[in-house]
């Protein structure tokens, strides 16, 4: 049994603006409406209307923001791990932290498809045949995607000699 549409509309009208302000103060304002909308989707999918609904919506929005933040940290961690797979000409070790930050910035500019193919190679350390199976393509198509993703990442890296090492 789903929530009554009238009760949902009433909660939406009463809480949308306040919830949006709450989320904007705590996260990226550009994504605030997405978080709020997702919170209301979760509410709509409930079997019963929480009583009171206001703190439930705020808690749900908070949890959604925390989940998004964990996802960002995982992606940043992947970028750091990718930085560990870079072959560089000998550099001063004090520059390692700067290099990792540069790799994180470069990683964020890549398309999700490029991030995915690089992650399968570097983070998951999957052989080409297995990575291709994950993506639902041939080994040759996977290797082509990996090559293109590396090519798109390379000019974004701070050192022109940097290259990714991953098992193929």
Each domain of the chain, given as residue ranges in start order, spans 5-71, 85-164
Give the model confidence (pLDDT) of 56-96 as tens digits: 898 899 889 888 777 676 666 666 666 655 544 444 444 55
d(CA 19, CA 55): 10
d(CA 168, CA 165): 9
Give the model confidence (pLDDT) of 141-156 as tens digits: 999 999 999 889 888 8
pLDDT exceeds cutoff 70 at 166: no
Give me the CATH topology for the region 85-164: Arc Repressor Mutant, subunit A (1.10.10)
Burial of 97 (0-12, 13-18, 19+ CB in 10 A): exposed
pLDDT number for residue 69: 76
Q: How far is CA 52 from CA 62, 66, 93, 110, in A?
A: 16, 22, 55, 43
């Amino acid at each position: 049994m789903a929530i009554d549409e009238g009760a949902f509309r009433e909660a939406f009208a009463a809480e949308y603006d306040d919830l949006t302000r709450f989320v904007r103060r705590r996260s990226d304002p550009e994504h605030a409406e997405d978080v709020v909308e997702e919170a209301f989707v979760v509410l709509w999918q409930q079997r019963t209307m929480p009583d009171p609904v206001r703190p439930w919506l705020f808690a749900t929005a908070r949890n959604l923001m925390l989940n998004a933040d964990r996802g960002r940290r995982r992606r940043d961690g992947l970028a750091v791990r990718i930085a560990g797979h870079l072959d560089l000409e000998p550099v001063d070790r004090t520059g390692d932290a700067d290099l990792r930050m540069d790799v994180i910035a470069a990683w964020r500019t890549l398309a999700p498809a490029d991030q995915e193919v690089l992650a399968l190679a570097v983070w998951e350390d999957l052989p080409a045949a297995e990575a291709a199976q994950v993506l639902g393509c041939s080994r040759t198509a996977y290797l082509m995607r990996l090559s293109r993703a590396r090519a798109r990442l390379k000019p974004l890296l701070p050192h022109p000699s940097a290259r990714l090492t991953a098992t193929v």
